[in-house]
């Protein structure tokens, strides 16, 4: 009994050695053509089967019990039909040579196992993977051997089974498992090698330089294009070397900065920079992409670089700009004469025309106007898209802008007789806009609304508040926007119906311009439309712009970018680290309304300088600062003497991502705000983390219904004086009931009554300066501290007077004389 176990065990060893040997030569055999490899594999498995038979111990004369079965099956299973046939033939030849009573049964068994291997190759290999696949293979082999037994007469195989069944089937199964396992590993390794080779080729054959570096700049992978860019012979020779061996230190510094930015942000970053390897003045440019390299646990361990030569693209862009500029000039010059001549004729300056001729000239004139509009629109679109349209963004009340557009549009298409009605549900609402661009936005929307309105109808313009935004809505009662067109509405040269261009005019660029401009103003455009006439068809376009609260509005200067004047003033200062001037202005204006002054730093260097020079109560930080990482500021902050523990509010388009990848608490980040910044959100962050101004400025209440006068006076009074506003008697009463003022500047003629009525409710320590256009009688004048007359007194003098009445001024409350009464 032990003999058969021993015999078969030695066979297991033999089979194992054979497979290991095959594995050993696989690096070499891996390069053989597929068919040759299959032949060789079949031959080796066949020879293994042969050795197995030859070395088997004779247990029953004429019969050979050995482990050829898993080898022959493995030939088919791992090598396919060709390998199976080769292995089977070799084994059959050997078995026939050895002869004996069991030769035929043996040959049948070999054929059977060859078939099992091939069938398994087409079934199991396709359906199972890993250990499960090996298990199924082994079971199939064992089953094959059992079936082979059934060829013999029943009593014979029953007897055989009893005698050697257990060891034979056990060891067939075990050796099939071993063979399966080893060959499976080999197969996987070869697959990986192939995949690796494909990836490698992908990188190497790429004409764009690609490389992978560790955080120190050591090159881990580089393709031949990188070697060519770095002016070195072989890509392989670059591996393990530092990029600083190839580039000047200044370039390396910048590259490191870019790479850090990508790694810290954990996302792809793109940069455009001159090609530093080009020594001539060809003006070569590279567009560089830096992506973080992560290990399998997701940790960032390096950076992937991809470069592309964009010299030609840049050159083409420059040529295009020049071309457009030239074309626009060349087109406009003849158009000036055409439009001018036609305009003069149509207006009758050149005398009366016969009716038919007049009609023709009118057509020509209308179309010359259209051509002018089209050229202007195209140039605008071009400018906006190239980022070349200058935006002069400042804090403006929305209503006057809207009013001027409505007035200007009233004469638009007089033949349609469409009235424009303005509703202001948000009086005094102020927004950060470029008034000229806002004008463009609204006149585009209005001309659309008028064009698509029914004859003699009306268009409604409404200003309202909507969750921190000021909403400007333009509604018509036209046919509505067809379903199919709604998605494309903000595209270029899009009009609902191409034939409508001729009917309603327009360039098809209007809404595209509107959207581009509103995007730049940090606003949103949306529309509602109804095409069903029964439900009351029509379209409303909404433009939402972040509202600037006017509660404590300050003068324009403070909102402008470079507020680095010498006097610090008593108010607390916030440093705004932001490279986009428009966004910085928006944030600054929000800060102003919260009672803070601010400085702007557009680069990491600026921020460091500012932090070293001044004390700040807080820092708002954009993660992306002009290609640098805003996070670089922290290194400096922690080490600095000044401002080292100020709260930091991150304001960024990547706020959410960065928050996840960075432990904010460690560096003093108190809040994260995603761009675009909603005013409410910033307000909340500020009030939660910053102390409001405790060193209260002198309080002045300006009661005045003309916002122009208010603005001007606020500008002159400057930031050392905190001015509250009231536009009506009711507002003024509410303000004086709420807090104590040092000075009240009072206009007499208010929409809801006389300003004089306010006097009775004022505490005696409040000085009152009347600033009014109407003459005041002597009795009333006696009740107030000073009377100044509009048109005779400038705002500058009013401001001077206010200062004299403030605590510390020569007419401060301890010295309540009325001698300045009537001063002009």
Partner 1 sequence: MTALARKILYVDDEADIREVAQMSLEIDPAFQVRQCASGPEALTAAVDWQPDLILLDVMMPAMDGPETLERLRANPVTAGIPVVFITARTQSNDVSRFLELGAVGVIAKPFDPMSLARDVAGYLPS
How near is the Cβ of 375 to partner 1 at its closest, in Å? 9
Q: Which is nearer to partner 1, 520 or 800 (CB)?
A: 520
Check: CB of residue 506 under 8 Å from CB of residue 448.
yes
Sole binder of partner 1 in the list 159, 300, 372, 560 (CB under 8 A): 372
Q: Considering only residues 516-545, where is the footprint of partner 1 by CB under 8 A?
A: none
Check: CB of residue 400 under 8 Å from CB of residue 441.
no
Q: Considering only residues 171-230, where is the footprint of partner 1 by CB under 8 A?
A: none
Tokens of 658: 């960065």
How near is the Cβ of 438 to partner 1 at its closest, in Å? 15
How near is the Cβ of 337 to partner 1 at its closest, in Å? 4
How near is the Cβ of 393 to partner 1 at its closest, in Å? 13
Q: Which is nearer to partner 1, 98 or 358 (CB)?
A: 358
Q: What is d(CA 610, CA 600) in angstroms, rounded to the nearest whole number?
A: 9
Q: Considering only residues 331-360, where is the footprint of partner 1 by CB under 8 A?
A: 332-341, 343-344, 347, 349-350
Q: What is d(CA 729, CA 747) in angstroms, rounded to the nearest whole number?
A: 10
792 belongs to the binding site for partner 1 (CB under 8 A): no
Sole binder of partner 1 in the list 390, 419, 564, 730 (CB under 8 A): 390
Q: Which is nearer to partner 1, 324 or 653 (CB)?
A: 324
Sole binder of partner 1 in the list 299, 329, 641, 792 (CB under 8 A): 329
Q: List helix spans (H) across 415-542.
A: 435-452, 500-504, 510-520
User: How many CB atoms lie under 10 A from the CB of residue 562?
Assistant: 9
Smallest CA-to-CA distance from 216 within 264, 250, 256 is with 256
Among the residue ranges 324-332, 532-540, 571-579, 693-701, the one whose residues contact partner 1 (CB under 8 A): 324-332
Please tell me the number of Cα atoms within 13 Å of 385 on its side-chain side.
Answer: 14
Check: CB of residue 695 under 8 Å from CB of residue 577.
no
Q: Which is nearer to partner 1, 256 or 332 (CB)?
A: 332
**Beta partners for 302?**
293
How near is the Cβ of 370 to partner 1 at its closest, in Å? 12
Q: Answer whether the bond into residue 676 is a cis peptide, omega within 30°.
A: yes
Tokens of 45: 């498995």
Among the residue ranges 22-30, 205-213, 253-261, 386-394, the one whose residues contact partner 1 (CB under 8 A): 386-394
683 belongs to the binding site for partner 1 (CB under 8 A): no
How near is the Cβ of 321 to partner 1 at its closest, in Å? 10
Sole binder of partner 1 in the list 250, 299, 388, 738 (CB under 8 A): 388
Q: Which is nearer to partner 1, 281 or 392 (CB)?
A: 392
Q: Which is nearer to partner 1, 306 or 365 (CB)?
A: 365
Q: Which is nearer to partner 1, 299 or 329 (CB)?
A: 329
How near is the Cβ of 343 to partner 1 at its closest, in Å? 4
User: How many CB atoms lie under 10 A from the CB of residue 37?
Assistant: 18
How near is the Cβ of 338 to partner 1 at its closest, in Å? 8
Q: Kindly determine how many residues on this chain lie close enough to bind partner 1 according to the rule CB under 8 A.
A: 24
328 belongs to the binding site for partner 1 (CB under 8 A): yes
Q: Which is nearer to partner 1, 380 or 671 (CB)?
A: 380
How many residues are there in the chain? 824
Tokens of 360: 């023709």
Q: What is d(CA 597, CA 611) in angstroms, rounded to the nearest whole number?
A: 15
Kindly calculate the radius of gyration of the chain based on its CA atoms and give it in whole angstroms. Answer: 43
Q: Would you list the DSSP string of 680-725?
A: HHHHHHHHHHS----SPPEEEEEE-S-HHHHHHHHHHH-TTEEEEE
Name the phi and psi angles at 103, rounded to 5. -60, -45
**Cα–Cα distances in Å, from 636 out to 218, 275, 433, 639, 666?**
26, 30, 35, 5, 14
Tokens of 188: 């996987």
Q: Which is nearer to partner 1, 351 or 354 (CB)?
A: 351
How near is the Cβ of 554 to partner 1 at its closest, in Å? 26
Q: Which residues bind partner 1 (CB under 8 A)?
A: 325, 328-329, 332-341, 343-344, 347, 349-350, 372, 379, 383, 388-390
């Amino acid at each position: 009994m032990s003999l058969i176990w021993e015999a078969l065990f030695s066979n297991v060893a033999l089979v194992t050695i054979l497979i290991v040997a095959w594995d050993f030569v696989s690096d070499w055999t891996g390069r053989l053509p597929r068919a040759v490899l299959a032949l060789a594999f079949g031959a080796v498995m066949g020879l293994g089967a042969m050795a197995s038979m030859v070395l088997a111990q004779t247990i029953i004369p004429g019969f050979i019990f050995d482990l050829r079965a898993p080898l022959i099956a493995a030939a088919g299973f791992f090598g396919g039909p060709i390998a199976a046939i080769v292995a089977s033939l070799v084994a059959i030849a050997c078995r026939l040579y050895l002869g004996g009573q069991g030769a035929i049964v043996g040959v049948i068994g070999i054929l059977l196992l060859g078939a099992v291997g091939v069938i398994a190759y087409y079934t199991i290999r396709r359906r199972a993977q890993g250990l499960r696949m090996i298990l199924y293979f082994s079971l199939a082999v064992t089953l094959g051997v059992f079936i082979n037994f059934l060829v013999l007469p029943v009593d014979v195989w029953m007897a055989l089974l009893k005698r050697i069944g257990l060891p034979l089937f056990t060891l067939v199964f075990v050796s099939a498992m071993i063979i399966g396992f080893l060959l499976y590993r080999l197969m996987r390794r070869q697959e990986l090698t192939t995949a690796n080779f494909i990836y490698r080729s992908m990188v190497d054959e790429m004409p764009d330089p690609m490389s992978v570096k560790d955080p120190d700049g050591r090159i881990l992978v580089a393709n031949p294009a990188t070697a060519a860019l770095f002016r070195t012979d072989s890509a392989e020779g670059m591996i393990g070397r530092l990029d600083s061996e190839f580039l000047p230190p200044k370039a390396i510094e910048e590259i490191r900065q870019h790479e850090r930015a990508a790694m810290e942000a954990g996302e792809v970053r793109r940069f455009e920079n001159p090609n530093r390897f080009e020594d001539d003045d060809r003006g070569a440019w590279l567009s560089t992409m830096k992506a973080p390299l992560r290990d399998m646990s997701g940790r960032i361990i390096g950076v992937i670089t991809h470069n592309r030569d964009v010299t030609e693209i840049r050159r083409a862009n420059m040529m295009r700009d020049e071309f457009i500029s030239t074309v626009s000039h060349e087109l406009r010059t003849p158009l000036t004469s055409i439009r001018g001549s036609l305009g003069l004729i149509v207006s009758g300056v050149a005398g009366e025309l016969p009716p038919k001729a007049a009609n023709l000239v009118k057509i020509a004139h209308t179309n010359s106007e259209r051509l002018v509009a089209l050229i202007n629109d195209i140039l605008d679109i071009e400018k906006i898209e190239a980022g070349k349209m200058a935006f002069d963004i400042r804090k403006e009340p929305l209503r006057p802008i809207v009013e001027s557009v409505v007035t200007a549009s009233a004469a638009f298409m007089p033949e349609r007789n469409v009235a424009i009605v303005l509703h202001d549900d948000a009086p005094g609402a102020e927004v950060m806009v470029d008034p000229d661009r806002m004008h463009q936005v609204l006149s585009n929307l209005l001309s659309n609304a008028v064009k698509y309105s029914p004859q003699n109808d009306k268009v409604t313009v409404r200003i309202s508040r909507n969750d921190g935004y000021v909403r400007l809505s333009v509604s018509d009662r036209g046919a509505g926007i067809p379903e199919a067109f709604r998605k494309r509405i903000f595209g270029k040269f899009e009009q609902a119906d191409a034939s409508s261009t001729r009917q309603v005019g327009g360039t098809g660029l209007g809404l595209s311009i509107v959207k581009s401009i509103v995007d730049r103003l940090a606003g949103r455009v949306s529309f509602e439309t109804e095409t069903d006439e029964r439900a009351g068809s029509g379209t409303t376009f909404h433009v939402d712009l972040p509202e600037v609260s006017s509660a404590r509005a300050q003068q324009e200067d403070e909102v402008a970018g470079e507020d680095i004047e010498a006097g610090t003033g008593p108010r607390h200062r916030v440093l705004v680290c932001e490279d986009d001037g428009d966004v910085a202005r928006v944030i600054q204006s929000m800060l102003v309304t919260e009672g803070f002054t601010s400085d702007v730093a557009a680069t990491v260097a600026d921020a460091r300088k500012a932090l070293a020079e001044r004390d700040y109560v807080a820092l708002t930080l954009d993660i992306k600062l002009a290609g640098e990482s805003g996070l670089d500021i922290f290194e400096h902050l922690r080490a600095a003497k000044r401002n080292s523990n100020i709260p930091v509010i991150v304001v960024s388009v990547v706020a959410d991502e960065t928050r996840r990848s960075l432990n904010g608490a460690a560096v003093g980040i108190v809040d994260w705000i995603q761009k675009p910044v909603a005013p409410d959100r910033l307000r909340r962050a500020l009030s939660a983390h910053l102390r409001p101004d405790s060193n209260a400025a002198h309080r002045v209440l300006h009661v005045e219904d003309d916002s122009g006068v208010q603005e001007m006076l606020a500008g002159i009074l400057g930031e050392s004086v905190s001015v509250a506003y009231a536009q009506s008697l009711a507002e003024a009463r509410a303000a004086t009931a709420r807090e104590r003022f040092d000075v009240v500047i009072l206009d007499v003629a208010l929409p809801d009554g006389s300003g004089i009525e306010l006097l009775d409710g004022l505490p005696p320590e409040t000085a009152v300066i009347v600033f009014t256009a109407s003459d005041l009688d002597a009795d009333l004048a006696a009740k107030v501290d000073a009377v100044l007359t509009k048109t005779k007194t400038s705002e500058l003098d009013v401001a001077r007077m206010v200062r004299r009445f403030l605590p510390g001024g020569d007419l401060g409350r301890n010295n309540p004389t009325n001698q300045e009464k009537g001063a002009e």
